[in-house]
Amino acid sequence: MIRVVLPVHLRTLARVSGEVQLDVPGVATQCSVLDALEARHPMLRGTIRDHTTKRRRAYVRFFACQQDLSNELPDTPLPDAVSIGAEPFVVVGAMAGG
């Protein structure tokens, strides 16, 4: 079971509260987790990564285990603590002030 934490605007859009828990077949990677997330909540397609290229949107970040995984390759395995559900995979809207 993979735990995913979404930013508030995407929780509202997906109509979920708290963490999203996903069964992700095979190795847990950014790509496989987001595939499973978008399959469960199709309204999130295009809001975290591009529909076609699957590239992360510029102002979205991926954190886990106190690490910034945003620039890891999409098929890189996530930390073990994420893959066993001990730690969440966190989707973050980048800080912006002003």
State CA 80 to chain mean position distance: 16
* Phi/psi at 8 (5° precision): -60, -40
* Residue selected from 20, 34, 48, 78 as contacting other proteins according to rule CB under 8 A: 48
* C-beta closer to other proteins: residue 56 or 87: 56
At which residue do the structure tokens 């290229």 appear?
53
Residue 95 beta carbon to other proteins: minimum distance, rounded to whole angstroms: 10
State CA 48 to chain mean position distance: 8
Residues that bind other proteins (CB under 8 A): 7, 9-10, 12-13, 43, 45-48, 51-52, 57, 59-60, 93-94, 96
